[in-house]
């Protein structure tokens, strides 16, 4: 199945692209997508954004799936055609 990932703002600068497609096995989960992101882009991201040991974004990076909170997919399978968007949390003041 194919999942599209959009990196917004400075994340796109670190990974070198704004949009990337990932081919994942059927039944793949959020963690599988993060593992692929880590393989392709993890070395380009600073430690404050990407945890290399866990192969996961740090809490300062938020995400959505099809414009809904990513919390909804952490326990569910990804679907063909999902559009995942990652961006930095805005600092309030």
Q: How far apart (Å, rounded) are the C-alpha atoms in residues 17 and 80? A: 21
Q: What is the pLDDT, as a whole number, of residue 40?
A: 96
Q: What is the pLDDT, as a whole number, of residue 93?
A: 42
CATH number assigned to the domain covering 2-88: 3.10.20.30
Q: What is the pLDDT, as a whole number, of residue 75?
A: 65
**Neighbouring C-beta atoms of residue 92, cutoff 10 Å:** 4
From residue 58, alpha-carbon distances to 40, 42, 84 in Å are 17, 12, 16
Task: Name the pTM for this structure.
Answer: 0.87
Do residues 11 and 20 make contact, with C-beta atoms less than 8 angstroms apart? no
Q: What are the extents of the domains in the chain?
A: 2-88
Say whether 73 sits in a helix, a strand or coil: coil
Q: How far apart (Å, rounded) are the C-alpha atoms in residues 65 and 69? A: 6
Q: What is the pLDDT, as a whole number, of residue 92?
A: 44
Q: What is the pLDDT, as a whole number, of residue 76?
A: 72
Parts of the chain with a pLDDT under 70: 69-75, 91-93
């Amino acid at each position: 199945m194919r999942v599209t990932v959009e990196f917004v703002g400075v994340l796109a600068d670190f990974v070198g692209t704004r949009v990337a497609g990932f081919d994942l096995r059927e039944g793949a989960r959020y963690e599988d997508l993060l593992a692929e992101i880590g393989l392709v882009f993890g070395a380009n991201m600073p430690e404050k954004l990407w945890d290399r040991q866990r192969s996961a974004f740090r809490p300062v990076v938020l995400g959505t799936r099809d414009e809904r909170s990513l919390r909804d997919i952490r326990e569910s399978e990804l679907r063909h055609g999902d559009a995942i968007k990652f961006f930095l949390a805005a600092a309030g003041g």
